[in-house]
A and B are shown apart, each in its own frame.
Chain A
Amino acid sequence: MPYTDSTLRLLNQDGTLVQGDGLDQYHQAISHLTEADFREFYRVMTVVRRFDVEAGNLQRQGHMALWVPSIGQEAAQVGSAFASRPQDHIFPAYREHTVGYVRGLDLLDIIRMLRGVTNGGWDPKKTNNFHLYTLVLASQTLHATGYAMGIGYDGACSTGNPDKDEAVMVYFGDGASSEGDTNEAFIFAQSYQTPQVFFLQNNHWAISVPVRVQSRTPLFERAAGFGLPSVQIDGNDALMSYAATRLSLDAARAGQGPHFIEALTYRIGAHTTSDDPTKYRDEDELAFWQAHDPIDRFRAFLERQGVEGSFFDSVAEEADDYAADIRRRTLAIEDPPLEDIFRHVYTEDHALMSDEWEWLKEYTQSLDEGQ
Chain B
Amino acid sequence: MHELPMAKAINEGLRTAMVENNKVMVMGEDIAQLGGVFRVTEGLQEQFGPNRVVDTPLAESGIVGTAIGLAMRGYRPVCEIQFDGFVYPAFDQIVTQLAKQTARHEGTQSFPVVIRIPYGGHIGAVEHHQESPEAYFAHTAGLRVISPASPNDAFWMIQQAIASDDPVIFLEPKSRYWHKAPVDDATPALAMTQAAVVREGSDVTLVGHGAMVSMLLQAADVAESEGVSAEVVDLRSLSPIDYRTIEESVTKTQRLVIAQEAPSQASLGSEIAATMTERAFYLMEAPVLRVSGFNTPFPPARLESHYLPDVDRILDAVDRSMAY
Contact = CB atoms under 8 A, between A and B. Distances in A.
> Do these two chains really belong together in a complex?
yes
Interface of A: 118-120, 123-125, 131-132, 134, 136, 139, 141-151, 153-154, 180-181, 184-185, 187-188, 191, 343-352
20 contacts: A120-B103, A123-B109, A124-B108, A125-B108, A134-B97, A136-B92, A139-B92, A142-B62, A142-B64, A142-B68, A144-B69, A145-B66, A146-B67, A149-B69, A149-B70, A150-B75, A153-B51, A180-B89, A346-B102, A347-B110
A123 B68 contact: no
Contacts of A153: 25, 51-52, 75
A187 B59 contact: yes
Nearest to B68: A143
Contact of B73 (A118, A123, A146, A187): A146
Interface in B11-51: 25, 51
B74 A347 contact: no
Given A150-B74, A191-B56, A345-B141, 6 more contacts: A119-B103, A131-B72, A142-B69, A145-B65, A146-B66, A149-B70
Contacts of B89: 180
A348 B62 contact: no
Interface centre among B25, B71, B74, B104 (most CB of A within 10 A): B104
Contact of A344 (B51, B62, B103): B103
A149 B108 CA distance: 22
Contacts of A343: 103, 106-107
Nearest to A152: B51
B144 interface: yes
Interface footprint category on B: 35 or more
Interface centre among A118, A148, A191, A345 (most CB of B within 10 A): A345
Contacts of B239: 350, 352
Interface string B171-194: 000000000000000000000010
Nearest to A156: B73
B240 interface: yes
Interface string B160-175: 0000111000000000
Contacts of B240: 350-352
Given A132-B105, A188-B57, A351-B243, A143 B65 contact: yes
Contacts of B72: 131, 143, 146-147, 150
A52 to B, nearest CB: 23
Contacts of A347: 102, 107, 110, 164-166
Nearest to B62: A184
Contacts of A344: 102-103, 105-107
B68 to A, nearest CB: 5
A154 to B, nearest CB: 7
* Leading 8 A-B pairs by shortest Cβ distance: A146-B69, A142-B65, A150-B73, A146-B66, A184-B62, A147-B69, A143-B69, A347-B165
Contacts of B193: 349, 351
A322 B34 CA distance: 59
Contacts of B252: none
A120 B109 CA distance: 12
A134 B65 CA distance: 13
Contact of B108 (A123, A147, A150, A180): A123
B295 interface: no
Contacts of B106: 118, 120, 123, 343-344
Nearest to A340: B106
A243 to B, nearest CB: 27
A304 B141 CA distance: 57
Contact of B59 (A146, A149, A188): A188
Interface string B100-138: 101111111110000000000000000000000000000
B103 A348 contact: no
Contacts of B243: 351
B93 interface: yes
B96 interface: yes
Contact of B70 (A134, A147, A180, A191): A147
Contacts of B166: 346-348, 350
Nearest to B104: A120
A150 B165 CA distance: 18
Nearest to B143: A346
Contacts of A345: 102-103, 141-142
A188 B62 contact: yes
Contacts of B69: 142-150
A143 B66 CA distance: 5
A107 B160 CA distance: 40
Given A151-B73, A347-B102, A139 B66 contact: no
B61 interface: yes
Nearest to A153: B51
Interface centre among A139, A141, A143, A147 (most CB of B within 10 A): A143
Given A118-B106, A149-B66, A346-B142, A139 B93 contact: yes
A168 B42 CA distance: 33
A352 B106 CA distance: 18
Contacts of A125: 108-109
B70 A146 contact: yes
Given A143-B97, A181-B61, A187-B62, A120 B70 contact: no
B142 to A, nearest CB: 6
Contacts of B97: 134, 136, 139, 143
A142 B61 contact: yes
Contacts of B165: 347-348
A184 B141 contact: no
Contacts of B70: 146-147, 149-150
A149 B62 CA distance: 12
Nearest to A123: B108
Contacts of A143: 65-66, 68-69, 72, 97
A351 B93 CA distance: 25
Interface centre among A123, A124, A141, A184 (most CB of B within 10 A): A184
B67 A119 contact: no
Contacts of B59: 180, 184, 187-188
